[in-house]
Amino acid sequence: MTLLERIKRVTEKNSEGVKTPDVDLDALIDTIYIGCRSMFCENPDLKNNYTLQNCLRKANYHNEARVIDNILQEKKFTDSIMKDESFFSLVKLVSNKSIAHQESLSGKKREKIDYRYKFLNDNSNICEFQYYIFRCHRIYENIVKEYGDTLLNELK
């Protein structure tokens, strides 16, 4: 199941009225956070990790990788608890401090960790979350199209 299929399934469960805590829903939400972390949110100093941005840099699409990095740093969530988080910081916090490792946290970080399921259990929030992914994917699609068009022209 792809990342977008998982997001679609959470949206369907939300529309069906499934509420967290629900073992299946919560597990699905955790896989979304982990998938986003591995695809977009690795440490940028680790140049050999296979994030979308590092793959683009290796293919000499440095500007596009930088644009994606900037998108992921934007703070566009309208939810009152998550409004001060960027996509990058939210995904890193949840995946690093709660899913991959269980760490003792207090205050706002603990509140956000505890809230992670309810956040994506709301379709308006998951739409905002997904919008970050779609914007990054659109950049990737344009590169693939450009590369494909160039390759086809070279073969003529």
**Quick one: pLDDT at residue 156?**
63
> pLDDT category, 146, cuts 50, 70, 90?
confident
**Quick one: pLDDT at residue 151?**
61
Q: pLDDT tens-digit profile of 12-55?
A: 999 999 999 999 999 999 999 999 999 999 887 887 888 999 99
Total tally of structural domains belonging to the chain: 1
Determine the straight-line distance between the first and last CA of the chain, rounded to whole angstroms: 37
What gap in Å lies between CA 156 and CA 147, rounded to an integer? 15
**For residue 145, is pLDDT > 90?**
no
**For residue 155, is pLDDT > 90?**
no
**Quick one: pLDDT at residue 30?**
96
**Quick one: pLDDT at residue 25?**
97
> pLDDT category, 148, cuts 50, 70, 90?
confident
**Domain hosting residue 38, numbered range:** 3-155
In this prediction, residues 83-96 reach a mean pLDDT of 96
What distances in angstroms separate CA 4 from CA 9, 19, 31, one per listed residue?
9, 20, 11
pTM of the model: 0.88
What gap in Å lies between CA 11 and CA 128, rounded to an integer? 12
What gap in Å lies between CA 52 and CA 72, rounded to an integer? 12
